[in-house]
């Protein structure tokens, strides 16, 4: 059974390893960046576990912007705990546990948490082939993002709560 909980500093190695499995090096967050995120916004950093083993996670700062800018990925000072929008910087599930509903559970958990905190919505960027996936959860594609993160083409997705 998969459970979801808030991440903590003891998850640093696990999230760093999972990220390296899920994203190309140019796009993957570093251990140092995860350390900063875990210290700055642990309240919006969730781990999915199966048999007490991390199998995925979702994380992002809170902002008043409904668009994610590249600087936000690298600089945790953009986190505003009283902001209107919950960002999603990363949704990672280890390859052998994909297509089993874990990513969806993490998204739904982040949505529910955001509603509880009275956020206006959630925002993320994704590659074109994932637009349809996020639309299933209520996200709306608002076009090509200005993000140049990792040299990829990204799309801005927004979910109003």
How much is the pLDDT for 53? 96
Residue 150 has pLDDT above 90, yes or no: no
Query: Tokens at residue 147, please?
Result: 């993000």
How much is the pLDDT for 42? 96
**CATH 3.40.630.30 assigned to 2-160:** yes
**Distance (Å, whole) CA 29 – CA 35:** 10
Q: Give tens-digit pLDDT for 25-83.
A: 888 999 999 999 999 999 999 999 999 999 999 999 999 999 999 999 889 999 999 99
Asked if 87 and 110 touch (Cβ cutoff 8 Å), the reply is no
Give the domain ranges of the chain: 2-160
How much is the pLDDT for 148? 87
SS3 125: strand
What DSSP designation does 156 have? E
Residue 24 has pLDDT above 90, yes or no: no
SS3 161: coil
How much is the pLDDT for 89? 95
**Distance (Å, whole) CA 28 – CA 25:** 5
Give the pTM.
Answer: 0.95
Q: Give tens-digit pLDDT for 85-125.
A: 999 999 999 999 999 999 999 999 999 999 999 999 999 99
How much is the pLDDT for 152? 87
């Amino acid at each position: 059974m998969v459970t979801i909980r808030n991440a903590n500093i003891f998850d640093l190695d696990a999230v760093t390893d999972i990220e390296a499995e899920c994203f190309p090096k140019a796009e993957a967050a570093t251990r140092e960046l995860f350390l900063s995120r875990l210290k700055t916004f642990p309240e919006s950093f969730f781990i999915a576990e199966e048999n007490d083993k991390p199998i995925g996670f979702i994380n992002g700062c809170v902002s008043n912007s409904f668009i994610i800018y590249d600087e936000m990925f690298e600089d945790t000072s953009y986190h505003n705990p009283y902001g209107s929008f919950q960002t999603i910087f990363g949704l990672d599930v280890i390859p052998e546990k994909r297509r089993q509903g874990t990513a969806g559970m993490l998204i739904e958990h982040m949505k529910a948490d955001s509603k509880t905190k009275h956020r206006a919505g959630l925002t993320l960027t994704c590659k074109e082939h994932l637009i349809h996936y996020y639309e299933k959860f209520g996200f709306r594609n608002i076009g090509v993002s200005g993000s140049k993160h990792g040299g990829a083409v990204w799309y801005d997705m927004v979910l109003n709560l």
